[in-house]
Structure formats: structure tokens, C-alpha cells
Structure 1
């Protein structure tokens, strides 16, 4: 695929990871597979494989497929608390992956292992204190997601959280939550960020493997809601009749056990592994065991929509920015558009700066 012709924009992000443009495609479960990631990276952005919903073998295969499709840098998103996190890190190192992304703060020793091997480590954070912690541990950069973002999210909006983090750490800061175009990129840069990360906008591209009917639900339904009914913690999703039914229902242990059994069969996890996972999820949270089992079933709800195309039976993570999205461009078209818009805005601001003053 030929990269877009927009002018490059050099920032600390592009210098750190080697991508042409400061635009990151986030690691969305069951969405960010080899096709979407390779299309993003080949177009000049930084694609990130969503390995948290993949087995170790599936992750390895996805990494190799991206490498066959493009020689551009890309990343892989891992769960730092996974039982096989160390094995997955070893795969990234062996396969020459440029970036390791984490949804939760990776342990200090994992960061050190990656840095020693030359892998750029970029955790995602939702609070200033989390950014300070991982930066002190040696993280190379952070992705900061404000409350507008999809999936697990906090209450602080990007416009407040981003400058807090930029002022608190010396590492490059990538802004996420509420971005879909070049205007947003310039706004993020003005706050001190070195680029933007987008999830919903990349999900709604022609390179995304999500079914067309599900994409149409996103384009037609521009309302999101933050619910705790999916997995016990705040989760921003597209508002649908199914989500409304979850909000009205009472979470009961027998139903959660049945759903947990379905996920166990699909994932191949043993009950012992699921219990260990549940204990990790309960740590530091006020969750009942019914909520823990429902949380373990979250991948089933995501898979139902993103893989099986059942928007009526699944949960669709979505940022509030979905209300601004109206089409399904290719990744190359999207990145070209974002960068062209960004340069137009920057040129206009420069003309304002040069304008004669009275």
C-alpha cells in the first residue's frame, strides 16, 4: 500500500517509534487484527495489535502477518497482569516488534526487559499519578485517555487530564479520547501532546474487519453511555437496546456462572485460571463475585458484536466522538485526511501569527 501524500509532521512520537505521522490506532479487542494494523502502519500511522483477546499462538501469527504485509513499525497491546505476560514479551522481542503497549501499568521488570531489548514501551493511563508512576519506572511514553474515550474510562475529560499529565512527566504524551480529525490533532499538539490515538475512528474504516451491519449501528447511533453493568467498572459503550436491558437488569450469580462457563469453553481457560483472574480483578475494587464472573464474560459480549456481527446481543465499546463520524474511509484515506486537515489548521494559525498588528 502506498503511504498517503500528506506532508509529514515530526514530533517526539514519530522520532521515538519511526512512524511518518503522529497518529496511533489503538489496540481494540477483536478489532485491531493484522489487517487493520498493517493498513494503519503502511499508511504512515502506528497500528497496534490487540493481543489481549488473542491466545499466545494467535498473537504470534498476527505479528507475523503484519510483518508480511508491511515493513513499517507497529505495536502490540498486552495485559500486564496476564499469566503468560512474560512469554508474550519474549515473543515481541523475538519477532522484532517496535512497540509494546499496555492497558494496565506493566510491572517494573517487564519495562526493563523490553527496554533492554530495544522495544519502546507505551502504557495507557487515565490519571496523572499513573503516568508519573510508569514514567518513573522507565516507560518511554504514555497514552493518556480522557473520559470521552471508549471502553474502560475515567471521569476526567481529555482537555483537563492531558495538560495535567503533560506538565507532570518528561516522557512523550499521546492524547486519546475524543479525537477523529486534523483539528483534534492540532488541539492535542497545542496542549503539549506529541500525537493522538484513535480507536472508534479506526474501527469505522473500510480496513476494519467489523461487519458492515455493526458499523452501520455505530454510524446511525451516535449516543454513548458509561455503564458498570458490563464488568463492574465504568465502561463507555454505544447505547443500544441490549445495553439498556443490562442497565435495567439485576446481576445474578447463576447467570454470571453460565456466562463464565461459555467464556471458559471459548477461551480454553480452566476454572482455576478464571478464579485467579477474578482475584486479580477484585483486588482494589469493590466487586461482588457475580460482577467478577460477568467481567470475565466481557470478551464474549465484545466478540458477539465485533466478530459474530450480533449488535443485538453484544456490547460495542465506543468513544463519544462517534457522533462526529459519518463515513468509512480506508486507513490510508483517513490518515491522509487527518494530516491534510492538520496542516490546513497549522497554516491558518501561522497566517494569524504573521498578520500585521494595528
Structure 2
């Protein structure tokens, strides 16, 4: 066991989520594309939180070997994030069940059938949603818990802030709710619990750890950012996307439609090579995306930008060529702890804050 384990052992908060996921702490590291790989996920798991492997950018074989790599580094439970609309979603679900993965999470709502198949195999299903009606839908279909992200969260995001969305979802469903969007410390965890959530999920905060494989130059750009440097644009893929402001984002904002579509085609062809997908499979996935989100064909094509623009920064370290998805909390984060140090700190702060709050109710 790692040397920090004894610090957190006496500071655990048991919630409906920790029970469900089998983890020590009510903290989730989200499945960020190109970022949440085996190293970050296993470090999170060893720290007692739930790490989620991002599989949308992996081939099927890549997913299986990534899962096995996490298992070789930790005995703790972890999750895999899937695209429910991917053409090979059923094959990916088979990998998850065969490899004994504890949790499956989804960016787009999985079908009732997919949820049932995972639950039959003993996998805990936790879809991610950005609206109350989506939470109600997946809850009625048998999801075990739901992760809800407010508008201040990074990547694809909605307009409603966590402080408004979270109580709305907590009141609407009777399954555990994990809160995402704006969380980075123990105070936030206590605030989420106060709203009725059973835990918090953090993306940007886990990206900015020493266990994250994101290149140093990119981490430096995040650490230098102020709250004002985090913006929402629809110019990357036609959907609202929260990221760090950069020269690239500025040029995307001002570029014309034909230039944007041309760039998307170039990125689609590059992603096809990286992911090993055929054009036919990509078109089928595009059709599913179009149906799922009512997108125009040009928006579907623009969606091809996302994986490659993220890869340029998160893997290749090109802050000039890539987009850097970021929650607004990037402006509040100034260090790179290990996952163990981060989880330890969050739990210590949370327990201290809970003690102070308990004191407020004590008779004078």
C-alpha cells in the first residue's frame, strides 16, 4: 500500500456512492479523453477514489490492454467511460464485463438494453448528464447512479451552473448523484454533500496532478490561467465546449465556415488513422451522433475536430495547435500534487469543514 494510505484511512466519508462503487472516498476522477489513461486511473484508484478510464479515443484492443494495465497496478475498483452511441459499443461492453471492470460511465445516455446488459453482468452503471430530464430518463431505465455536470465544468458543457442544477437533479431522482463542475477541494465536497449529492467528480483538478501524463508545457498553461482565461466556444465542434482561451481558439472563433469544414475533414482523416476506424464506421457513428443530438451534417463533421485537437495538446504538448478543455476551476488551481496527496488533502479539508459546521449547531 502507498505510504499516504494511513493518513486518509481515518478520514473516510461513507456515502451511497462509496458503497456502490466500493471505494474509500466519495471522489471521482472523470474520464477525460487522452488524459485519463492507465497511469492516472491506477494512481487515483490507489488513492482510494474512483478513477475512470477514457475509452472513446482507444481501439477495442487498446481498451482491453489499458484495462489490464490498470489491473496490474491496482487491486482497487475503477471505471471505464464509453460512448453509448459508438458503433462498437456492444463489443466494448463485452470487454468491460469480461475483464471485471466495476463501473461503466457514459457521456451520452446509454439505452435501456445496454444498462440492463451491464447490470446483469454486475457492472455499476453511472451515466453522465447535464440536465434534469436526462437524469430522470436514465434513472427510470435502471442506472445505478448519475453524474451531473454543471456549466462551469470543462469540455462539453451546458448553461446551468452546478449550484442550480445539482439540487434540481437531487430532488428529481432517488439514486445517488455525483456532482461535477467547479469542484477542486474539500470545501466543494462538503458543499455537494450539503446539496444532497453522494460525492464529487473532478476533471481539471486530476489533470493537474503529477500522476497525469499531460505534457509539462500544457500543465503550465493551465496553472497560468485565471478564471477569465477559461471560455466556452462552439467553434471546435459545433457544441458548447469549455476550454482555455488561446490563439488557436481565437482563430477558430474568427474563421469562416468553409475553412472550418475543411479543417474538420483533415482532422477526421487523421483520427481515422489513429483510432483504426474505417470511414464507414465513422460515418455510422456520425449518423448516431446526429440522431442523438439533432446535429446538422456540418456539425457532425466538426465533431471530428475534437479528438485530434485534444490529442495535439494532451499527448503531443502543442499548446499552439491543440485545444485544452478546462473547467473554470483551472483559474483557482496552482499546484501539481500526486493523486494520493490530492485525495488526502481534499478529505482532510472536508472533515475539518464538517467539524466546524457541526460546531455551529452545538448549544452555546
Q: Which residue of 2 aligns with 1:97?
A: 101
- The TM-score with structure 1 as length reference comes to 0.97
Say which of 128, 134, 149 aligns to 1:124: 128
The question of whether the paired residues in 2 share the 8 Å contact of 1:251 and 1:291 is answered with: no
The question of whether the paired residues in 2 share the 8 Å contact of 1:224 and 1:318 is answered with: yes
Say which of 1, 4, 7 aligns to 1:5: 7
Between 110-119 and 200-209, report the one with greater CA deviation. Answer: 110-119
What pairs with 1:74-223 in structure 2 (closer than 5 Å)? 74-222=78-226, 223=229
Q: Which residue of 2 aligns with 1:316?
A: 324
The question of whether the paired residues in 2 share the 8 Å contact of 1:4 and 1:44 is answered with: no
Distance 1:109 1:307, change over 3 A: same
5+ residue gaps, structure 2: none
RMSD: 1.2
- The TM-score with structure 2 as length reference comes to 0.95
Shift in Å, 1:23: 0.3
5+ residue gaps, structure 1: none
- What is the CA deviation profile of residues 180-235 of structure 1, one whole-angstrom value per residue up to 9, with x for unaligned ones? 00000000000000000000000000000001110000001222111101100101
Q: Which residue of 1 aligns with 2:39?
A: 35
The question of whether the paired residues in 1 share the 8 Å contact of 2:27 and 2:50 is answered with: yes
- What is the CA deviation profile of residues 130-164 of structure 1, one whole-angstrom value per residue up to 9, with x for unaligned ones? 00000000000000000000000000000000000
Partner SS, residue 79 of structure 2: strand
The question of whether the paired residues in 1 share the 8 Å contact of 2:34 and 2:315 is answered with: yes
Shift in Å, 1:86: 0.8
Partner SS, residue 48 of structure 1: strand
Question: Residues of 2 paired with 1:259 and 1:18: CA distance?
Answer: 39
The question of whether the paired residues in 1 share the 8 Å contact of 2:45 and 2:77 is answered with: yes
Distance 1:15 1:284, change over 3 A: closer
- What is the CA deviation profile of residues 226-272 of structure 1, one whole-angstrom value per residue up to 9, with x for unaligned ones? 11011001010111111111111113133332332222222222222
Shift in Å, 1:298: 1.2
Distance 1:107 1:4, change over 3 A: farther
Distance 1:4 1:316, change over 3 A: farther
Question: Residues of 1 paired with 2:46 and 2:313: CA distance?
Answer: 27
Q: Which residue of 2 aligns with 1:229?
A: 235
Shift in Å, 1:293: 1.6
Shift in Å, 1:57: 0.7
